[in-house]
DNA sequence: CACGACTGTGAACACGTGTTCATTCGATCG
DNA sequence: CGATCGAATGAACACGTGTTCACAGTCGTG
């Protein structure tokens, strides 16, 4: 069949690929016991230097590495950490992954990456993860289902990146949305904007609801009523669609406070592009997160910094601490955003 | 010590968290043998419905899930796939991860994510991966070290996303850089640009070198000499720095062909921002990859599509096929880019 | 020279699961 | 009603490793 036709290319594929040398193989070749092999790969084990040498050379010729799966079977806690992430269509998540996972890796932890599409899938994802005896699970899906505390027992320690209200048994690193939104609104009011709307993240998303509420409250503090409060997904496309709807509804405020930078970029895109409006002359726009794009001079988005360095450092610390002392008290960290004024306000 | 001070918050942390119910526990509670438990969780196994019921209820109360690590110990090939990724500071990689990993997940595969910083770290990363009996390793670091074929045996099947020249024993999905660069150059020449430069990716990166060479060759076909050929990292910051250097060297061409979109964005950022030049009126810019940002109306980057859907589908197929038939012939797939004209040319 | 302390070694066990192999039981067919 | 077949079950084994334990050997000290 195809066996002859592709014989030339097939030569590269050795059947031995699926073969994996075991400690017993190495022991046999080195003329020692299997235990000696284990010791040779265990730092500080009691083994003669000559024996270790014999084992290492035998291991090298056979291409042997201890099977990590078998190793974790003995240890009570594995070296595997699960990372449950949502769509990093939101660039902030992409940046988070890009820097958090190497940080965990640096601590000698392996990362099992689990992608979660919609919110309903989170439970399934955690269920999948539960099959692995992970040392810790990092959840960074933005939103979070409130799951049963009884079931909670099965999942091992959980560290959340994002708002974790209603969860009193998980460590978390969040952002102080109220302070951030207040900074944005105060800034816009100070610049003379009176008609201000809010395009927040999904209403059923903790940070989406939180920021919308903070917006209304802060505006009320200035004696102003919101031009509108609407919700959309944390994506450029979702924000674009919502903005078109705003225009169709004849709602054109002097400023828009957005749930995050992706939304802000989508808003600006439609305002400048399809609607032909000037930003910030006619409409000011503020984002949230300060993703790297926001600082590019062609974009120059005024936004709220959500310092990713701090977040990474905190998450890393929390994971390390939780693994080292599983019964340490729960810690909730709240990062304080700062306003970064650029060209869109 | 802290035990009393934080007693209230500590209550949430049960010591039982580290405890994990085993199949023997379930068997004992259900009054059956341990084998019955295994059967209850194995679809199609020969077990009476009544017995399965007893096992499942016992398992539910104990919160039991089969230990995935122990399960993989028997099977010759595991359900774990390693993903070795470079910095997704390059947004194209972020989009790739965002869509490839769910696709693999959908096939019932778990992903072990390994981050690789610089090129030297790739060997170490593969070494780490080698400890796990992974079913397949997907390498998407952009560049790739040529490693020994002897050592190659130890790593199991490898599927590469990106150029894989010099590797005759790995499946790969690449992009036809030559066709892409030719489309870009032809387009610019047709629009009357005569002085054209190229800012490609790193010279020691296969795609960086490949595209630079294709640029020179295509330009020669038009009887033109390149205004310049330079290299920089696939990042906005790197491109910005390189562009400043161009200006300092008094090299201002009528068009710049960039190694990818990130470079193009960095170039445009400096040209429009610091240099106050008009794009495309004074300088035309072409990118490569067509990341989502490129299509935003505020950016409108002319670029070469590097269809991520096709890439994902191919990678997924290659992984599936390689796992199903380990000795199938090596397949190298080349995706053909298309020119997408927007506002920067 | 005798004794204890220490080092190096391998047999045996443990980790938690899937799988093979007899064995038993009930049902079906001749 | 006896023979036969299939379903259901549990004992035993396999996967590959780390760890405990007892034993032999060596060295140094009295």
For residue B204, the model assigns a pLDDT of 85
For residue B166, the model assigns a pLDDT of 76
B contacts of A2 (beta carbons < 8 Å): 329
Q: Is B113 part of the contact surface with chain A (CB cutoff 8 Å)?
A: yes
> Does any strand C atom come closer than 7 Å to the Cβ of A73?
yes
Q: Is A101 part of the contact surface with chain B (CB cutoff 8 Å)?
A: yes
For residue B3, the model assigns a pLDDT of 32
b or e along B170-181 (b: 16 or more beta carbons within 10 Å of the residue's beta carbon)?
A: bbbbbbbbbbbb
CB B288 within 8 A of CB B258: yes
Q: Write the residue in B10, B17, B272 that is nearest to A153 by C-beta.
A: B17
Strands A303-305 and B80-85, how do they pair?
Answer: unpaired
How many angstroms separate the first and last alpha carbons of chain B? Answer: 68
A205: pLDDT confidence band, cut at 50, 70 and 90? confident
- Comparing CA positions, the residue from B313, B325, B331 lying closest to residue B100 is B313
Nearest nt to the CA of B20 via C1' is C16
Neighbours of A13 (CB within 10 A): 17
Q: What six digits make up the tokens of B99?
A: 């869509």
Mind telling me how many Å the CA of B220 is from chain A's nearest CA?
33
Nearest nt to the CA of A33 via C1' is C10
Residue ranges in chain B whose pLDDT is less than 70: 1-18, 76-77, 88, 119-120, 143-153
Q: Is A271 part of the contact surface with chain B (CB cutoff 8 Å)?
A: no
How many residues in total does chain B contain? 345
CB contact under 8 A, A329 and B9: yes
Across A51-60, A139-148, B276-285, least confident range: A139-148
- Comparing CA positions, the residue from B108, B107, B175, B97 lying closest to residue B139 is B97
Residue of higher predicted confidence among B210 and A151? B210
pLDDT average, residue stretch A10-29: 65
> Does any strand C atom come closer than 7 Å to the Cβ of A68?
no
Nearest nt to the CA of A49 via C1' is C8
Share of chain A above pLDDT 90, in %: 68
Find residue A229's DSSP bridge partners: A198
CB contact under 8 A, B63 and A153: yes
pLDDT digit string, tens, across residues A63-100 = 898 999 999 988 766 899 999 988 767 899 989 998 99
Q: Is B53 helix (H, G, I), strand (E, B) or coil?
A: helix
For residue B6, the model assigns a pLDDT of 28
For residue B147, the model assigns a pLDDT of 61
pLDDT digit string, tens, across residues B48-96 = 999 999 999 999 999 899 999 999 988 766 899 999 988 767 899 989 9
Residue of higher predicted confidence among A262 and A45? A262
Q: Residue A30 pLDDT > 60, yes or no?
A: yes
A127: pLDDT confidence band, cut at 50, 70 and 90? confident
Write a three-state SS string for A37-86.
HHHHCCCCCCCCHHHHHHHHHHHHHHCCCCCHHHHHHHCCCCCEEEEEEC
For residue B122, the model assigns a pLDDT of 82
Residue with tokens 């009126």: B281
Q: Residue A3 pLDDT > 80, yes or no?
A: no
Q: Is B230 helix (H, G, I), strand (E, B) or coil?
A: strand
A241: pLDDT confidence band, cut at 50, 70 and 90? very high
> Does any strand C atom come closer than 7 Å to the Cβ of B71?
yes
For residue B46, the model assigns a pLDDT of 85
Q: Which of A13-27, A52-66, A156-170, A229-243 has the highest mean pLDDT?
A: A229-243
For residue B44, the model assigns a pLDDT of 82
Nearest nt to the CA of A35 via C1' is C10
For residue A16, the model assigns a pLDDT of 35
Full set of structural domains in chain B with CATH:
2-66 (1.10.260.40), 76-175+309-336 (3.40.50.2300), 177-305 (3.40.50.2300)
Distance B173 CA to C19 C1' (A): 38
CB A82 within 8 A of CB A137: yes
For residue B124, the model assigns a pLDDT of 83
Q: What six digits make up the tokens of B293?
A: 């940002």
For residue B119, the model assigns a pLDDT of 67
Distance B53 CA to C25 C1' (A): 20
Q: Residue A46 pLDDT > 90, yes or no?
A: no
As a whole number, the mean pLDDT across chain A is 88
Mind telling me how many Å the CA of B262 is from chain A's nearest CA?
11
Say how far residue A288 (Cα) sits from the centre of its chain. 16
B contacts of A25 (beta carbons < 8 Å): none
Mind telling me how many Å the CA of A320 is from chain B's nearest CA?
15
Mind telling me how many Å the CA of A208 is from chain B's nearest CA?
22
> Does any strand C atom come closer than 7 Å to the Cβ of B115?
no
A117: pLDDT confidence band, cut at 50, 70 and 90? confident
């Amino acid at each position: 069949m195809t066996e002859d036709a592709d014989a030339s290319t097939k030569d590269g594929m050795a059947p031995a690929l699926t073969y994996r040398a075991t400690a017993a193989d190495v022991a046999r070749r080195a003329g020692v016991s299997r235990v000696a092999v284990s010791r040779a790969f265990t730092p500080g084990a009691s083994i003669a230097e000559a024996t270790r040498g014999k084992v290492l050379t035998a291991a090298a010729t056979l291409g042997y590495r201890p099977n990590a799966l078998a190793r974790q079977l003995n240890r009570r806690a594995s070296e595997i950490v699960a990372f449950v992430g949502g769509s990093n269509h939101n660039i902030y998540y992409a940046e988070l992954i890009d820097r958090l996972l190497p940080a965990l890796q640096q601590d000698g932890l392996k990362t099992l990456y689990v992608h979660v599409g919609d919110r309903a899938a989170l439970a399934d994802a955690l269920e999948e993860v539960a099959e692995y005896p992970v040392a810790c699970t990092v959840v960074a899906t933005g939103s979070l289902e409130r799951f049963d505390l009884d079931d909670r027992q099965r999942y091992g320690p959980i560290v959340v990146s994002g708002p974790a209200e209603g969860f009193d048994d998980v460590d978390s690193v969040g952002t102080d949305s109220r302070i951030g939104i207040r900074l944005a609104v105060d800034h816009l009011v100070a610049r003379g904007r009176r008609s201000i709307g809010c395009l927040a993240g999904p209403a059923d998303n903790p940070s989406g609801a939180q920021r919308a509420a903070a917006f209304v409250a802060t505006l009320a503090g200035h004696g102003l009523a919101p031009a509108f409060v609407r919700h959309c997904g944390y994506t450029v496309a979702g924000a674009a669609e919502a903005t078109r709807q705003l225009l169709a509804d004849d709602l054109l405020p002097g400023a828009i406070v957005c749930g995050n930078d992706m939304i802000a970029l989508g808003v600006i895109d439609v305002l400048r592009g399809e609607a032909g409006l000037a930003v910030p002359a006619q409409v000011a726009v503020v984002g949230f997160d300060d993703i790297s794009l926001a600082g590019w001079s062609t974009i120059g988005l005024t936004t709220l910094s959500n310092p990713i360095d701090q977040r990474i450092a905190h998450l890393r610390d929390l994971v390390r601490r939780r693994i080292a002392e599983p019964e340490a008290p729960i810690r909730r960290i709240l990062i304080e955003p700062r306003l970064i004024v650029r060209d869109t306000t």
